[in-house]
Structure 1
């Protein structure tokens, strides 16, 4: 099984990188893309001089990686990592779109950039592209419709990225941002689905088909919540003809 995590708001204080520390503990591989404009996160946490960004944590080697700066002035990026798994190479992407209230036009522009990068780095055959991230938008938003490519014209012709939560129990809203988490309750914001795993269309033999999806990290451990966001866990098929 290919085990890969896409992470956002990962910090690096110059002495220790959070994803690097996790990789050392697990014996995994990692990649990190610091924001070119980390001031928002530094101001929020009072951690001046600390880098914040997106990261990939992988059980299997990362043979290629690249960072794309997204449009806007708040330092958002897209991190690409090609994972060399035993079942083949997996094009894996993670991002964190702008959180500006009323910022749908800005996120739409960022999604168009994301799709262009995915198209260039996702050859036909083998594993389809996987996009993970905190997209700061609800499922029926314009930016999410662009990713799906079936409710509006996709930014790149032929590129369709399926929201993996569509394979979940229809009665489960899948809120990774939920008020029963005290970190969320303190914001006075409503429950929301803003964290996603999107997967390209399956390859031959069903490779990359979504077999299961669920939330994890959505309960405290010893009364401690790991994050204000729960994680979306997706299992993809690796069978071939």
Structure 2
């Protein structure tokens, strides 16, 4: 697999997107997902709610078509997600073999990858994990992590404990000056003002790792843009009867004075149907970093 050579001054583009597992018309949706990724051309994208069965893995399917390297992390406890498909009338024989997890696609080789299981809690252990890779980016390695935290609005306390385990994992092994500042992406199922996001950032309240700050990239967006990644304009969201919210985040470590890894631009994509098909119930966040 060939690695693209970036144009001088080209940003390092990172992205996060929840792909809504195998819900709805997933065959049509995966074509829409592919179209969005092909248009945006991220260098690295963290994906959540990725499905896999015995014959196919959605991340691998996308990676082959986009010419990207793939890392995949299945959940150790996918039963809750399988039950939801069964309730929707899916064939139990098919549902029982499905996996659910996180993935990373990268245009550049992956030097390392590691998975961390996160604390459970709430009504049941949802098998949440974090997937960290070290991307062989053109100028220096990029530590990149993607995750998906517990989903119930009432489980902020569980997500706080997950963040306490997550941040040391994200920054572990990071060598300032040799690596880009670490990037943490994912569906946190929590808004920026929540205890769990304040804790993850480490600048509105003391974080899990003293001296570590992870900046919410959306703070660089237009101040009047709410950045709703969970938006009631999407019919899959409207039927849940919850308010619109920004729950998908890209957090970046503090850059050096020279600015490598700082946020140049941030925006939402997949905010409209693609050929009449909503690719997911979530919008995606795209962030351009200074090279």
Deviation at 1:48, TM superposition (A): 2.0
Q: CA deviation at 1:153?
A: 0.8
Unaligned runs of 5+ in 1: none
The residue number in structure 1 matching 2:68 is: 28
Measured in 2, the distance between the counterparts of 1:189 and 1:102 equals 13
- Any gaps of 5 or more consecutive residues in structure 2? 1-10, 13-42, 87-94
**8 Å Cα contact 2:200-2:207 kept in structure 1:** yes
Higher fraction of strand: 1
Q: Tell me, in whole angstroms, the C-alpha distance in 1 between the residues paired with 2:223 and 2:135.
A: 31
Displacement, 1:204?
4.5
- 1:37-186, aligned counterparts within 5 Å? 37-46=77-86, 47-72=95-120, 73-125=125-177, 126-186=179-239
Confirm or deny: 8 A CA contact 1:139 1:194 kept in the other structure: yes
- Runs (4 or more) in structure 1 with deviation over 3 Å come to none
Give the Å deviation of 1:113: 0.6
Which stretch of the first structure deviates more once superposed, 100-109 or 89-98? 100-109
**TM-score using structure 1 length:** 0.96
User: Displacement of 1:200 after TM fit?
Assistant: 0.2
Alignment of 1:196-235 (within 5 A): 196-235=249-288
- In structure 1, distance between residues paired with 2:76 and 2:254: 32
**Alpha carbon RMSD of aligned pairs, Å?**
1.0
Q: Residues 47-81 of structure 1, C-alpha deviation per residue, up to 9 Å, x if partnerless?
A: 22100000000000011001000000110000000
Size of the alignment, in residue pairs?
238
1:101 deviation in Å? 3.0
Task: Report deviation, 1:123.
Answer: 1.6
> Conserved in 1, the CA contact under 8 Å of 2:108 and 2:137?
yes
Q: Please give the TM-score of this superposition, normalised by the length of structure 2.
A: 0.80
**Secondary structure of the corresponding residue to residue 150 of structure 2:** coil
